[in-house]
């Protein structure tokens, strides 16, 4: 495969999942752009996991370290699923396409295609639309079967592994049904609720 590719990436675990398919491209880079990830410490953890992996694998990394949750929330079509996630995909893939066109890449793709939790067909459709709007191709591959490999690789490499999708809404959806908490004081139970 000889095409050049800019791959939007969301975390180290997902990049670890697709290292082999990425290596088939003649020229490729990974692009961290995820204004959806909140709060700040979580954002830094995921950005750092990508940085660590990129350094180790000698990947070309374009890092957008801007953290601006207000702007992200303003740009969502809705705060509810599924519209929220569709806006979120579009925001990230539109920026990936913009940067790819600016830097001379011929195609874009995303590690969202390696997630079993995302709306795969929506990612594909929006990726194709945003790539086409910039005169680029969207590289589609179903990488979901590599998710378990990414998980194992992240464990092996001691990379940070996230517990929820990214935005504060998804954090609530993940933890509200649980009684998980981090209180380390004089324990009088399992926290509020
Ligand atoms: S749940 Fe995930 S995909 Fe949906 S809006 Fe939140 S961060 Fe984006």
Task: State the pTM of this model.
Answer: 0.91
Using a pLDDT cut of 90, give the percent of the chain over it: 89
- Which of 39, 164, 169, 175 to mutate to test ligand 1, by most ligand atoms within 8 A of the CB atom? 169
Residue 187 confidence (pLDDT): 55
Q: Which residue has the higher pLDDT, 135 or 1?
A: 135
When pLDDT is cut at 50, 70 and 90, the band that residue 3 belongs to is: confident
Which of the listed CATH numbers 3.60.20.10, 3.40.50.620, 2.30.38.10, 3.90.1300.10 matches domain 4-175? 3.40.50.620
Q: Which residue from 77, 119, 116, 99 is spatially nearest to 30, judged by alpha carbons?
A: 99
110 lines ligand 1 (CB under 6 A): no
Residue 117 confidence (pLDDT): 94
pLDDT in tens, 96-118: 999 999 999 999 999 999 999 99
88 lines ligand 1 (CB under 6 A): yes
Give CA–CA dist 146/18, Å, rounded.
Answer: 7
Give CA–CA dist 100/94, Å, rounded.
Answer: 10
- Which of 10, 127, 167, 171 to mutate to test ligand 1, by most ligand atoms within 8 A of the CB atom? 167
Sign of CA dihedral 68, 12, 78, 91: positive
Ligand 1 mean position, distance from CA 85 (Å): 5
Residue 193 confidence (pLDDT): 43
Residue 180 confidence (pLDDT): 82
User: Atom 3, ligand 1: which residue's CA is nearest?
Assistant: 85
**Residue 85 pLDDT > 60, yes or no?**
yes
Mean pLDDT of 151-168: 95
- Phi, psi at 59, each rounded to 5°: -85, 145
Ligand 1 mean position, distance from CA 2 (Å): 32
126 lines ligand 1 (CB under 6 A): no
Whether residue 34 contacts residue 93, with contact meaning beta carbons closer than 8 Å, is answered with no
Please calculate the CA angle 72-73-76 and round it to the nearest 5 degrees. 90
Give CA–CA dist 61/128, Å, rounded.
Answer: 22
Domain boundary assignment for the chain: 4-175
Mean pLDDT of 7-12: 96
pLDDT in tens, 45-83: 999 999 999 999 999 999 999 999 999 999 998 999 999
- The position carrying tokens 């954090």 is 171
170 lines ligand 1 (CB under 6 A): yes
Structure tokens at 150: 């990414």
User: Atom 5, ligand 1: which residue's CA is nearest?
Assistant: 85
């Amino acid at each position: 495969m000889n095409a050049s590719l800019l791959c939007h990436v969301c975390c180290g675990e997902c990049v670890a999942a697709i290292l082999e398919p990425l290596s088939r491209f003649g020229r490729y880079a990974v692009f961290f752009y995820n204004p959806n990830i909140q709060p700040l410490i979580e954002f830094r953890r995921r950005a750092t996991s990508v940085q660590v992996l990129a350094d180790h694998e000698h990947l070309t990394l374009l890092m957008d370290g801007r953290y601006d949750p207000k702007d992200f929330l303003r740009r969502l079509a809705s705060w509810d699923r599924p519209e929220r996630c569709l806006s979120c995909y579009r925001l990230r893939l539109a920026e990936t396409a913009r940067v790819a066109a600016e830097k001379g890449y011929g195609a874009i793709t995303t590690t969202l295609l390696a997630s079993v939790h995302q709306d795969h067909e929506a990612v594909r459709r929006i990726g194709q639309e945003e790539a086409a709007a910039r005169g680029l191709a969207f590289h589609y591959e179903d990488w979901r079967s590599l998710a378990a490999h990414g998980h194992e690789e992240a464990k092996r490499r001691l990379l940070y592994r996230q517990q929820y999708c990214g935005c504060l809404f998804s954090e609530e959806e993940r933890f509200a049904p649980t009684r998980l908490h981090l209180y380390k004081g004089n324990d009088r139970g399992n926290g509020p609720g």
